[in-house]
Chain A
Amino acid sequence: MAKKEYLMGNEAMGRGAVEKGVKVVAGYPGTPASEVLEYAAKYADVRVEWCINEKVALEIALGASLCHTRAMAVMKHNGTNVALDFLMHLNYTGVRGGLVLISGDDPGGNSSQNEEDSRIITHLDAHLPVFDPWCPQEAKDMVRAAFELSEKTELCFIVRPVMRVCHARSQVSLEEITGNGKEPFFTDDRSRFIMSAVKEPEAGGVLRPVIRHRWLNKKQPELLQIMEDSPFNHVEKGEGNIGLVACGIGYAYVREAEKILGKKFPVLKLGTLPLPGDKVAGFAHRMNKLVVYEDSEPIVEGMLKELFYDRDIKVEIVGRSGFLPMEGELSTGIVLKSLAALYPELEKSVPRTAPLEIKIPVRTRTQCVGCAYRGLLHALKLMARKTHGVVTGDIGCYDAGSFLPLELQSTIYCMGSSIPMATGVAYSGTKQPVFSIIGDSTFFHNGVLGLINAIHNAVDMVAIVCDNRTTAMTGFQPHPGSDTDITGRPAVAIDIAKLATAAGATSARTVNPYNIAEVAGALEKAAKEKGVSVIIASSPCYLLGRRNGDIGFTPRKVSLNPDLCNGCKICIEYFGCPAIHFSNKKATIDQAACVECGMCVAVCQRGAIT
């Protein structure tokens, strides 16, 4: 019997890559995919790297692949957007050593700014093959198969797990670690690896992009045959002539629903793109209706409609174009509800649920107790409200400053958009002062370009970089400002203040965000300057610091004198520490929750907190 280990889906994918002899794994942290890379980092002979961003990660992976080395790039769906420019070229050139791109999707937007389905850009745009696993074991099997098939077809293979597969934990079979048996060596093939609008003499002067596009198109029949024979697609017999097309995680929910209902339906389990056309057509011939369960856009649904039109197959197809919810993530409950709509007699078998008869408050996200950024956000909110300034935000822990109680940042889009958006606000002609706020990891990821652009164009703005020396929100991964890499090896820490100064910022002040007066003073000065003034609020992440014995403050016990508290709520609405409670017109300190950072002492203007 094969050895089994209780692994998370992400770890299972990392293991799959290691078993297939991957030698380079590069990525950028992002929920739900981060642990893939962290698992691979346990193996000393694999070069594992958190890169500055996802495009760089994919470029590194291809560089290794061109030397016949197996390589993998790991990212979340938003990151795949960042890497898309490169992906739209490597699809034309192809690969040498097996190259796998893991793109973790977050249907429902549990930990993301959108709930994009990355099958669209990777398959429909880039025409690359995609595997969509339903469980950790299949995710691992797919990564293993992807390496073999990538080398066989010379194409980059995409594995697109959704969050519930990434984060699911189960017993996964371990297999031996092997490799492709190739010595790394780079040989030239400029007709492939020089992607440019050059005329090919050998092809009668046809432009190279057209020739490479033709190469990619010619690969498609080979892919179709691979998917036709793939173990990741199969048919299950069942009662009735409504066929359930279960794609990726949809298979888990369909089988679960069958178990609950005690019924077996005809099921077409799909895990690949392109679709296995013959298998799909064979299944559809016996049905008069198909229901497609997929996360999250109706992609397979649309592809089936196209396929059946071409093959003149008449069958009704419904799914996430309206029959099923068009937004949010799939669930067993959604499958059960849809089956009860199709078979009304099943309604009685659907589990009943009754919510409690009580109003349950929403728990919104906020900074951790002890987080240095709370002091920064407090000072910035005072400044922004006083000057009627506009604050553009970015992705990271500090983005919680945009929610209640602070409601500070006015915009949040994607990684790095804070500074360019602030630039646009400044260009609009408004007289409002402009502030942007971005985290350290996000700054390196994409923000630095916006900063250089703003400096070059002498935009009047204050750009604040929150520097807690780690990528905190996704689990403390290092970034280019860190002095060690993922394996603990020494790394060159890029100094943000020096970088800003070298680029020509009007000023670059490093402040301690726990010191509210210091932050406020820096903001006052910066707001009066012309051009781009950079403020770096630098202090270690409290959670990480507590773990490493390197917190950014000297603990001090605080107490609140209720006689001095006049109930002004500045400590709630302009600071919002979860350890400060408010009731009966007075603030109180929850000593059990307080970590003694002492910042609130400076917040209270009546001296009630000491």
Chain B
Amino acid sequence: MNLNILIAGVGGQGNLFASSILAEYFINQGHEVLAVETIGAAQRGGSVVSHLRISDDEIYSPLIPAGKVDIILGFETLEMLRNFQMLAADGRYLLNDYQEPTVLCNMEMDTYPTDESIAAALKKSGKKGYLIKATECAREIGDSLLTNVVMVGALCQLSPLLNRQEVKQVLAGKSPVKVREPNLKAFDAGGALVKSAMGQP
């Protein structure tokens, strides 16, 4: 098996926790895992990208080569668009419908792309994917910080390479007691979002 997952978001969205759950799951399954995060100097609000590579052979580069990403998880819209060209020809995306404006957009020195232009560009790319309201769902459960877990739950529904129950066990094991219940709830909610996006009951 070879699987390259890229998680694109902004600082504070729990990008690293999501990557660590998936990594532990795949290690438990006996696969090789190589991961790396790219973080700027900012603690919060800057772009954060996690590369997660899974294989049965030795993996060399921690960064996924351009054009080799199988699945891109967009925690934030702009950050997914920025990394979209990393996708393989048959790569898929899972985008959280959440937009964090940039400083320059706030100053009207730059323009955040409109929903219409984003939809048009994604359509023109010919890539398959889903748009889900993960942050909204996380807020409904109680905290927007659960977005990452909603997205992991969604990914498990999307990809047959992940066993939902076993990923959930890893999540339970890695969650501090205080947030275990909300995390598990968020995980299930993420699965339900993808199910309904796929038009499944």
Which residues of A are interface residues toward B (Cβ below 8 A)?
A: 6, 31, 110-111, 135, 164-165, 167-171, 251-253, 255-257, 259-260, 331-333, 336, 351-366, 368-369, 397, 400, 403-405, 472-473, 475, 543, 569, 572-573, 576, 578, 580-583, 592-593
Residue in chain A with minimal CB distance to B19: A169
Contacts of B61 in A (CB 8 A): 252-253, 255-256, 331-332
Q: Given A336-B65, A358-B113, answer yes or no on A365-B41 (Cβ-Cβ < 8 Å).
A: yes
- Contact in complex: A352, B46 (CB < 8 Å): no
- Please list 23 pairs of residues, one from A and one from B, whose beta carbons are closer than 8 Å in the complex, sorted by A's number: A31-B39, A110-B40, A135-B60, A135-B62, A167-B62, A168-B62, A170-B59, A256-B61, A257-B65, A351-B68, A358-B118, A360-B78, A361-B78, A361-B113, A362-B110, A363-B45, A363-B47, A365-B46, A366-B45, A404-B107, A473-B42, A578-B45, A581-B106
Is B130 part of the binding interface, using a Cβ–Cβ cutoff of 8 Å?
no
Main secondary structure of the interface of B (DSSP, over half): mixed
A361 contact from B63, B87, B111, Cβ within 8 A: B111
CA distance A45 to B117 in the complex (A): 59
Do B84 and A355 have beta carbons less than 8 Å apart? yes
List 15 extra interface pairs beyond A171-B32, A252-B62, A353-B66, CB under 8 A: A164-B62, A167-B37, A168-B35, A168-B36, A169-B23, A255-B61, A353-B85, A356-B122, A357-B124, A360-B113, A361-B111, A366-B45, A404-B103, A405-B103, A581-B101
The reply to whether the CB of B134 lies closer than 8 angstroms to some CB of chain A is: no
Return chain A residues, CB-CB under 8 Å to B107.
404-405, 569, 572-573, 576, 582
Name the distance in Å between A583's Cβ and chain B's nearest Cβ: 8
Given A333-B66, A351-B67, A581-B106, residue A363 in contact with residue B35 (CB < 8 A): no
Would B43 and A368 count as touching, CB distance under 8 A? Answer: yes
Q: How many residues of B contact A (CB 8 A)?
A: 62
List B residues 93-136 near A (Cβ within 8 Å).
Answer: 100-113, 117-118, 120-122, 124-125
Q: Is A572 a contact of B35 with CB atoms below 8 Å?
A: no
Q: Is B85 a contact of A572 with CB atoms below 8 Å?
A: no
Nearest CB of A to B111, in Å: 7
Q: Contacts A167-B36, A168-B36, A253-B60 given: A368-B65 contact, CB under 8 Å? A: no
In angstroms, Cα B140 to Cα A87, docked, is 57
Residues A6 and B45 in contact, CB atoms below 8 Å apart: no
Residues of B close to A259: CB separation below 8 A = 60
Q: How long is the Cα–Cα vector from A251 to B58 in the complex, in angstroms?
A: 13
B27 at the interface (CB under 8 A from A): yes
- Smallest distance from the beta carbon of A403 to chain B beta carbons, Å? 8
Q: Which of B45, B63, B100, B110 meets A331, CB within 8 Å?
A: B63
Residues of the B chain whose Cβ atoms lie less than 8 Å from the Cβ of A332: 61, 63, 65-66
Interface code B15-42, partner A: CB below 8 Å = 1, 0 otherwise? 0000000011001000011111111111
B3 at the interface (CB under 8 A from A): no
Q: Is the CB of A582 within 8 A of B78?
A: no
**Contacts of A357 on B, CB cut-off 8 Å?**
121, 124
Q: A351-B66, A360-B113 are in contact. Are A578 and B103 (CB under 8 A)?
A: yes
Which residues does chain B contribute within 8 Å of A365, judged by CB atoms?
A: 40-42, 45-46
Q: Tell me, yes or no, whether B172 is within 8 Å of chain A by CB.
A: no
Q: How far is the CA of A93 from the CA of B65 in the complex (A)?
A: 45
Tell me the minimal C-beta distance from A119 to chain B in angstroms: 20
**B residues in contact with A171, CB < 8 Å:** 27, 32-33
A364–B23 CB distance below 8 A? no
Task: State how many angstroms separate the Cβ of A331 from the closest Cβ of chain B.
Answer: 7
- Measured CB to CB, the nearest residue on chain B to A593 is B100
CA distance A125 to B118 in the complex (A): 52
Contact with A along B46-89 (1 / 0, CB 8 A): 11000000000001111101111000000000110110111111
Q: Do A331 and B109 form a contact, CB below 8 Å, given A357-B121, A358-B81?
A: no
Whether A256 and B60, one on each chain, are in contact in the complex, defined by CB atoms closer than 8 angstroms, is: yes
The 6 lowest CB-CB distance pairs between A and B, nearest first, are A351-B67, A168-B62, A332-B65, A256-B61, A358-B121, A255-B60
Contacts of B122 in A (CB 8 A): 356
Q: Are A169 and B35 in contact (CB under 8 A)?
A: yes
Give Cα A56 to B108, complex, Å. Answer: 47
